[in-house]
Structures are given as C-alpha cells and as structure tokens.
Chain A
Amino acid sequence: MDAMTPRSRSGPTGRRRGAAGRGRIERFDRTERAVHWATTLLVLTLVATGAILYLPSLSVTVGRRLLVEDTHVYVGVAVFVPLLAGVLGRWGRSLRSDLRAMSRLTDAELSWLRSLGRLGRGAVGKFNPGQKLNTNAVAGMLTVLFLTGLALRWGNFLPVGLRTGATFIHDLFALGFVVLITGHIGLAIAHPRALRSMVTGWVPAGWAERHAPAWRPVRTAPDEHAVPPTSVSD
C-alpha cells in the first residue's frame, strides 16, 4: 500500500517517470478507490436483486419478492452517495480532476478512437477515449435508472403512461448497463495491472508509458519493488 512506501516529491525528472520507466505512478488515490469499491458493492447488489425481480426463472427460485424489491429500491437510492461524498469533500481533488478529464475529448483522441487504436497511443492520457466514453455512458445510464426507479417506487402521482414508460426505460437501460459493466469487468480481468491499480492505487511507470503516454502524473514514487518492464504482460 502507498502508505508503507516513502513518498517523494516528484522532481522535474520524476514527473517524466525517469528515462527507463522505473518507479510507480499513482493512478487512483484513496478517495477514488473507496468511491469505486463502495459503488461496486451497491451496483452488484442492484444487478443481483434486479435480475431476481426481472427474470422469471430467478423470481420463482428466490421468491421473497417484498424483501428483494425493498433491497433493490433502497440500495438504488444510495447508489450515488459514495460518488457524491467523494466529489464534494476536500479529499476529492483527484476525483474531481479525473471527472473533468473524462468529460472532454481532444481531436487527437477522437482520431485515435476512429482509427480503432491503429493510430498509436501517442495522444492517450491517463484515461483513453474509450474509457472516457464508457464512464459517461455508465453514469448516464445509472442516472436514468435512478430517476426512473424513483418514479416507479414513489411516482404514484404520475400519469400511468409515464409509469409504464418508466418501467420500459428502466428495463431497457438496465440491460445496456449490464452490458457495459460486463465489458468493464472483462477488460479489468484482461488488464490485471490496471485492475491492481484500483486496489493499490499505483501502476508501474513502464505500464503508464505503454498505455498512457500522454499522461502527466501528479504523484510518483521510486519503487524498489517495481516489476521490471520485461515481465509485464498486460
């Protein structure tokens, strides 16, 4: 963990990660990791309970509809709490900066995206354009699920047409959402170094050089335990 290793103020050379790509770079700080894993727990609960409510074969196997429904509703209400708590505090500087970065794409990134990655990663920073779009898509879908979910549970005053529409959109966006987070989990498994950085916070500088050459990291550390770049497979 980062708390155990000496932190160095990254000097003019440290910032560029050193000539041989040695040392480590902080990819996600404590706040970001806490937000990520708390949200993960909530979202997995929502997917599980949602599947039980939606899929007839699961509905009849698990039963207990009231309990499953209440769990789904109240976990759903809480789904943005970790993110808001992370963004609003003074501990959320890095998170806020990452969210800002996620919301914008440069022309070079767009070209990279259109070339389906053939153009070379020169323009790719901390987050690649695909990650940026995925983040926004997941956030957009989750927002829609949140709003339609509220309408379904507490929208008795709404015209029935709107409630039927909300049911339809809730189902539809839930399917899209599950597709996206399945892709997210698949890519995380395919890139264990990236996945580990969501646990420990750090990536080897060599990894960053290959995957995110345009990233100008905020915090770096020399790392005597750094894995030699040759053994990195992802």
Chain B
Amino acid sequence: MVDELSGDGAAPGRPIGRRLFLGLVGAGVVGTVIGEKVQALVGAIVRPFTNASGGGLAALIPGANRFRLYTVTGGYPAISHEQYSLSVDGLVERPMRLTYADLQALPRTELDRDFQCVTGWRVPGVHWAGVRLGDLIELARPTAAAHGVEFTSYDGVYTESLTLAEAHRSDVLVAYEMLGGPITAEHGGPVRLYVAPMYGYKSAKWLKSISLVRQPVPGFWEQQGYGVEAWIGRSNGRHDAPVP
C-alpha cells in the first residue's frame, strides 16, 4: 500500500550530516583524552569569577574548580548554632555533649587545604577552622579498648569512621568555619568533619556524634564500594596529588 521512492538508492549530495555526527563523536573521544588538561585550563580561567561554595552561574561551567554539593537524603538538615550539639561517647571515660559555643571556646586550629572529591573535582586552597579531632577525643579520655572512631550525621543516614591513629592527625578537624566564614547548611554546617589527607566522603557533614569504638566500621559510601582507607592519591584506584 506504499509507494517506495527510488531516489534514496541514488543518495544525492554529500554525507555532511554523517560527518557532523562522526566529528562530534571523535571530538568527544579526543576531549576525554585531553580533558583533564583542558579542565585545568578552564578552572584557571574561570577561577576569578567563581565562588568556590558552588553556587551562582559558575555552577554551570564544566571544569570550574568548585564544590558540588552531595546529599544522600531528601534535602539537608538545617540546624542553628544555638540548637547544635555534638556528643562524644562510646568507649570513653568521660562522655561529653558540646555546644557550638563550647567548640569555639576550645583551642582553634586553622588550615588552608584543598578539598578533593573521589569523583574528580578539587577545590584548591579552602580555608578551614575548627578544633582538632584528636584534642576532642583526648578530652573524653578513650579507654584502652577503643581503636576506631565512628561519626554520625544529623541527616540521619550518613556515617563515617577513622582509626584512632588517623583521628589523632593534626590535619583532621571538627570544623566550624570554611571558605572564610561559618559553615553553611549546604556545606555541612554548623559543624562538619574535615579530613585533609583523605577524599571528601570522609569529611562527614552535619556532624552529630563522635563515638569511640573497637574497630572502624565502613561508612555510608564505603558500603557502596568506596575505600575505607580513603587516602588521596592512594585509594579508590585514583592517583590525585596528595593534599599536603
């Protein structure tokens, strides 16, 4: 019931459409190979125009060095500084519950370090301020049985962990400032963890509790297959430059 056209067999014209298709696929492949360098270039060019906090128009530019905000639940918890409290418990002689003001009253440590995500993005030179995790743990006096530290989040789902030795590093903070101001709710405020030498998923947001345990227990992303030992450049099959 259909009249077939005879014209198609002769195929008039030149295969320009096909060339465009193949050209784009080729550009995609070449771009993937050299993309890391291009991305570094783009990042350097747009850096003066971006706000690293991840908002604004800069969020639209591929390759810009900016935070991408991940939350694993529906939305994120919004907790005021007055409401906030952090418990330190588990295998300790002196369980504690600290307010935001308590944390600010403790010795302050500042760091300027990159934030490196396991998915590839890296925000250079982020300013962090907070209390050393090791100091907090010592205040609570862990028992001899404690070899791991477990963290929970106010989002009710996220968990993380470190060994006790890792928790005592001087570049591991219970942070209440980042990017030069109080930590916003999007970035995990009022208080989050910052584990400088490890991939970002270790730096638990909306920190609710610090529990001393016998052994580290794999956290949320680690149960999805990410490495429990999340050293930047030496885990998760990645070779990023370490954060100094």
Contacts and interface: CB of A to CB of B under 8 A. Distances in A.
Interface of A: 7, 9-10, 15, 54-57, 59-66, 97, 100-107, 109-110, 132-133, 135-137, 139-141, 143-144, 147-148, 151, 156-157, 159-169, 171-173, 175, 216, 218-219
B64 to A, nearest CB: 10
Interface residues of B, number: 58
B75 A60 contact: yes
A168 B35 contact: yes
26 contacts: A56-B67, A61-B75, A65-B70, A66-B72, A66-B224, A103-B18, A103-B21, A104-B12, A104-B15, A133-B16, A135-B17, A137-B21, A140-B20, A140-B24, A140-B28, A143-B21, A151-B32, A159-B239, A165-B31, A165-B32, A168-B62, A169-B28, A173-B28, A218-B2, A218-B4, A219-B2
B79 to A, nearest CB: 14
Interface in B1-55: 1-5, 7-8, 11-18, 20-25, 27-29, 31-36, 38-39, 42, 54-55
B3 A141 contact: no
- The 4 A-B pairs at the shortest CB distance, nearest first, are namely A165-B35, A140-B24, A144-B28, A171-B62
B181 interface: no
A165 B25 contact: no
Nearest to A169: B31
B238 interface: yes
Contacts of A169: 28, 31-32, 35
Contacts of B73: 63-64
Interface of B: 1-5, 7-8, 11-18, 20-25, 27-29, 31-36, 38-39, 42, 54-55, 59-60, 62-63, 67-76, 119-121, 186, 224, 237-240
Contacts of B16: 104-105, 110, 132-133
A60 B120 contact: no
A141 to B, nearest CB: 6
Contact of A167 (B13, B119, B224): B119
Contact of B55 (A57, A66, A140, A175): A57
Q: Is the interface of A mostly helix, strand, loop or mixed?
A: helix
B1 A156 contact: no
Nearest to B72: A65
Contacts of A54: 59, 68
A107 B14 CA distance: 8
Nearest to A219: B2
A157 B17 CA distance: 34
Query: Most B CB atoms within 10 A — which of A143, A168, A175?
Result: A168
Contacts of B186: 56, 60
Contacts of B22: 140
Contact of B17 (A9, A65, A102): A102
Given A102-B17, A135-B17, A161 B36 contact: yes
A172 B59 contact: no
A103 B39 contact: no
Given A59-B70, A60-B69, 13 more contacts: A15-B3, A66-B72, A104-B18, A107-B14, A147-B28, A165-B38, A167-B119, A167-B120, A168-B42, A168-B63, A172-B63, A216-B5, A219-B3
Contacts of A219: 1-3
Contacts of A132: 16-17
Contacts of A103: 15, 17-18, 21
Contacts of A9: 1, 3
Nearest to A105: B16
Contacts of A97: 5, 8
B118 to A, nearest CB: 10
Contacts of A65: 70-72
A57 B27 CA distance: 30
B17 A165 contact: no
A65 B240 CA distance: 24
Given A60-B186, A103-B15, A216-B7, A143 B71 contact: no
B13 A59 contact: no
A140 B62 contact: no
Nearest to A216: B5
Contacts of A104: 11-18
A12 B136 CA distance: 90
Contacts of A156: 237
